[in-house]
Each structure stands twice: as C-alpha cells, then as structure tokens.
Amino acid sequence: MAAEARHLETSVPILADIDIVTARQQGRALAERVGFIGSDLTVIATVISELGRNMLTYAEKGVIRLRPHYFGGRRGIMVVAEDEGPGIVDVELALQDAYSTSKSLGLGLPGTRRLMDEFDIVSVLGKGTKVTVTKWVS
C-alpha cells in the first residue's frame, strides 16, 4: 500500500510539446505513488497528453496541475489543465466524438471523459478553459 502522498502536488507549465512529455511522466510517477497500477497508469498518462496538447493547440500555453486526491476513504489523482486561451464556443459540441476545429480526431475531450471517473470543464470565451478530471484507485 502507498503511504499518503498529499504533499506531492506538482505543477507543470505547458509551453512547448516537450512539456507534454514531462507532464505525463510526472503524472505517471505520481499515480504510482498514490497506488495506481497497470493500465490505470497508462490511462492517466494518456489523459494528461490529450489535455496538454489541447492547451498548446488552442490556447498556445497553459498549466497542468497534478494532485493526489483523498476523499471519503478513497484515494486518487486529480489532473487540472488550465489555460487563458480563447475558450470553447460550444462545450457540448466539443465533448462529442469526432468534433474538432483543427482537422484533428476530436477524441481528446470525449475520450478523456470516458477514461476518467470524474470530469469537469469550465470554459469562458476570451478568458480560458479549465478541465478538472479525477481517477480513483479501484
């Protein structure tokens, strides 16, 4: 069993595509510390990758915060991806499979939602976008 790892919160600025690699490696490492194993580690790294790329593509830059999360006897990891980009015009649409404004696959957000246990998105036009996702150790 992993000891509690509350103090291990980290923050990765996403300014270039190498930062996405850094963020997902840190996410995986933190997830291991929290007690995740196997394909959950891959899931967490993949989600960080998708959120990080969206920032670079649509908002030029942003920050990914990785946080051990303990609640109601459960432990997990929370990933917060926050940028000050243009925001999303239609969030409902952005969450649909295959919707993309960049000739991309349009599976980043809906895929992330499927992979994680909790998913929240707040986007304000002209202000920015904040995606908060959590996965619990099962």
Partner 1 sequence: MQVPILKQGDFLIASIQAALTDADLRQLQDDLVHRVSIYRSLGVIVDVTALDVLDSFACRTLSGIAQMTRLRGAKTVVVGIQPDVAFTLVQMGLRLEGVATTLDLEEGLALFNRPTN
Binding site for ligand ADP (CB under 6 A): 50, 54-55, 58-59, 83, 85-86, 88, 94, 99-102, 104-110, 129
Residue type, 48: I
CB of 7 to ligand ADP, least distance (A): 28
Q: Is residue 24 exposed (0-12), middle (13-18) or buried (19+ Cβ within 10 Å)?
A: buried
CB of 37 to partner 1, least distance (A): 7
Rg (CA), the chain: 14
Tokens 């600025």: give the residue.
13
List the single partner that 132 binds among ligand ADP, partner 1, none, CB under 5 to 8 Å by kind. none
List the single partner that 121 binds among ligand ADP, partner 1, none, CB under 5 to 8 Å by kind. none
CB of 59 to ligand ADP, least distance (A): 5
List the single partner that 4 binds among partner 1, ligand ADP, none, CB under 5 to 8 Å by kind. none
List the single partner that 5 binds among partner 1, ligand ADP, none, CB under 5 to 8 Å by kind. none
Query: In the bound complex, which residue of the shown chain has the CB atom lying closest to ligand ADP?
Result: 108
User: Would you say the C-alpha torsion 58, 62, 68, 70 has a positive or negative sign?
Assistant: negative
Distance CA 132, CA 36 (A): 19
Task: Compute the C-alpha angle 60/110/135, nearest 5°.
Answer: 90
